[in-house]
Amino acid sequence: MATTYLKAIHRTNSGSISAALKTAINYDKNPDKTNGGALVLGYECAPQLAASEFLLSKTRYEQITGRNQGKNDVVGYQMRQSFKPGEITPEEALEIGRDTAMRFTKGQHQFIVAVHVNTNCVHSHIFFNSVTLDCSRKFKDFKYSALALRKISDHICTEHGLSVIENPRLSKGSNYAKYMQGRKPPTSRDTLQDLIDENLIVGQSFGEFLVKLKRAGCEIKTGKHTAVKIPGGKKNIRFDSLEDDYTDAAIRERLTGTRNVTPKEKSVTTPNAPAMPPRTSDKPNLMIDIQAKIRQGYGEGYEHWARIFNLKQAAKTLIFLQENGIDSYDDLKAKASAVSGKMSRLTSEIRDIEAKQKDITELQKQIGTYTKTRAVYNEYKGIKNPRRRTEFYEANRTDIALCQAAKKYFDAQGFKGKLPSINTLKQEWATLDVEKKLRYKDYHALKPRHKELQTALMNADNMLGTRHAQAQERQSPRKSYDYGAR
């Protein structure tokens, strides 16, 4: 089951920004833990030069904003993702780590992903730069950011057909279940909005809708404005005082079908209520491990509900298989594997395109630098008098060094003779960008299909009992799993 961890890395931990970056990044990409560095990738940075590139962006940030937080500066954020032993390959963990980092940072920060395989538990270390790509601002940590990361990770793991942990810890001394129990109870307005969602049916009249609310125990007051007192409520609440989708006019539009609203997730009414999956669609959802829930203390009522839920999901899975012409377990497994393979290939192609775009961007940068500094460098090379040459060098040290660095870069890349024009490089970059967008489009188009097939496969495993048998074969001799990352 996937677990997540988020930690801010401060400059004060190592004394300087450079030292803090090198300490964190070198630990993450340790070749002894990442198959010699094969399980490391970077976004908008080369993993080998990540610390230097992060430092460069921070220097640029200080120049643009004039801000310097000294020893309290956050140089980056470290995330960790741990997976259930035997459930995922290191290559899949690398892909999921990249997807998680992209969604959490929204692609606005450099990051590296490194998968560690030195323990019995495959886990990934993700380190992202606190400064944005344009160097104009920094990542602002927010309350429950670890919870937001967990939700993103759980969503991605579900897309890949992986299990997620039931009771993740948010911090020392507390866990998610306790956090949920400690939330404020729903307000009267929340409860009324829930009742509206439950009793509103498209096609019925406004009067019929009010009758349904009355049967649900509400007191109705009509007139210029409709007001409702919920069961056990102390005062009437006007529809027009609720959110936009629950006003008098909005409800009438919803009844006629001219306004479509997705009902909100129902508010928690009791602190000890077991977590139920959301209302299901016609597509199958993952079945519930009832015995595991019972061991966690869920009662007979939950067991009864879960058995009915599992029967419905089994039926929906069979219907899904029939509708898609899948007549055997091997056929289902092959189709699921084929879609996973396509997604992996698309991911690999997208990474290759991004690498080419990065090379083009760097080449443009070096050509621009060379063009600006070439005249100064040529003048320097043409000076024969040693004393005057030294004086000229001291006065133009930066431009000369930049020009020499650009020439060294061109030599390393094998450029001889005339360099490509900036316009040609821009066109090449734009062409690659179109190809990347097409592959992203194909990737996102495959995601729903991938999720459906993985869900059906896991449900088929549950129905046939194969998943339990496979888990028994993979299980370590130890009695319990260790999901921790070291």
Per-residue pLDDT tens over the stretch 448-469: 888 888 888 888 887 776 544 4
Residue 484 lies in a domain: no
Is there a single domain that holds both residue 174 and residue 192? no
> Does residue 292 or residue 89 have the better pLDDT?
89
Last residue of a domain, one of 181, 209, 236: 181
Phi, psi angles (nearest 5°) of residue 356: -65, -40
**In this predicted structure, which of 54-68, 219-233, 254-268, 348-362 has the lowest mean pLDDT?**
254-268
CA dist., res. 369 & res. 412, Å (int)? 16
Q: Which of 7, 85, 35, 71 is nearest to 476 (CA)?
A: 85
Number of domains in the chain: 3
pLDDT at 292: 63
- Say if 270 falls within a structural domain: no
More confident residue, 295 or 388: 388
Q: Which of 135, 154, 181 is the last residue of a domain?
A: 181
Q: Are residues 152 and 20 part of one domain?
A: yes
Output the CA–CA distances (angstroms, integers) from residue 321 to 65, 87, 315, 326, 362, in the order listed.
57, 24, 10, 5, 49
pLDDT reported for residue 271: 39
**CB 188, CB 197: distance < 8 Å:** no
| Gyration radius from the chain CA atoms | 29
pLDDT at 176 over 70: no
Establish if 292 belongs to a structural domain. Answer: no
Same domain, 45 and 143: yes
170 shares a domain with 31: yes
Average pLDDT over residues 134-144: 83
Helix (H) or strand (E) holding 389: helix 386-395
In a domain, 480, yes or no: no
Q: Where do we find the tokens 């060379």? A: 370
- Yes or no: say if 125 and 114 are a contact pair by the CB < 8 Å rule: yes
| CATH for 83 | 3.30.930.30
Q: How far is CA 31 from CA 35, 47, 118, 284, 396, in A?
A: 6, 12, 10, 42, 41
Do residue 45 and residue 177 come from a single domain?
Answer: yes
Question: What confidence tier does 253 reach under pLDDT thresholds 50, 70, 90?
Answer: confident
Alpha carbons 284 and 320: distance in angstroms, whole number: 8
- Domain for residue 298, yes or no? no
Position 479 in a domain = no
Shared domain check, 118 and 33: yes
User: Residue 418: is its pLDDT beyond 90?
Assistant: no
pLDDT value at residue 353: 92
| Sign of the four-CA dihedral 278, 283, 286, 288 | positive
Do 40 and 165 fall within a single domain? yes
- Residue 329 pLDDT greater than 90, yes or no: no
Residues 174, 196: one domain?
no
Helices 466-474 and 422-464: crossing angle in degrees, nearest 10, is 110
Averaged pLDDT, 76-86: 85
Instruction: Provide the phi-psi class of 325: left if phi over 0, else alpha when psi is between -120 and 50, else beta.
Output: left
- Say if residues 70 and 12 touch (Cβ distance below 8 Å): no
Split at pLDDT 50, 70, 90, the class of 17 is confident
Interatomic CA distance for residues 232 and 387, integer angstroms: 95
The whole-number pLDDT of residue 362 equals 92
In the structure encoding, which two tokens stand for residue 273, read together? 């209520």
Q: Out of 8-17, 233-242, 393-402, which region has the weakest mean confidence (pLDDT)? A: 8-17
* pTM score, whole prediction: 0.40
Confidence (pLDDT) at 276: 43
Q: What is the CATH number of the domain that holds 413?
A: 1.10.287
Amino acid at 478: R
Q: Quick check: is 99 in a domain?
A: yes
CA distance from start to end of the chain: 16
Q: Considering only residues 339 and 169, tell me which one the structure prediction assigns the higher pLDDT.
A: 339
Q: Where is pLDDT greater, at 408 or 157? A: 408
**243 and 366 housed in the same domain:** no
The answer to whether residues 15 and 144 belong to one domain is yes
In this structure, the answer to whether residues 228 and 349 fall within a common structural domain is no
In a domain, 316, yes or no: no
pLDDT band at residue 303 using 50, 70 and 90 as cut-offs: low
Last residue of a domain, one of 233, 256, 279: 256
Residues 422 and 350 in one domain: yes
Predicted pLDDT at 171: 46
Is residue 34 within 8 A of residue 123, CB to CB? The reply is no
Three-class SS state of 125: strand
Q: What is the pLDDT of residue 392?
A: 94
> Is the pLDDT assigned to residue 265 strictly greater than 60?
no
Mean pLDDT of 393-409: 92
pLDDT at 152 over 80: yes
pLDDT of residue 274: 43
**In terms of residue numbers, what domain contains 355?**
330-461
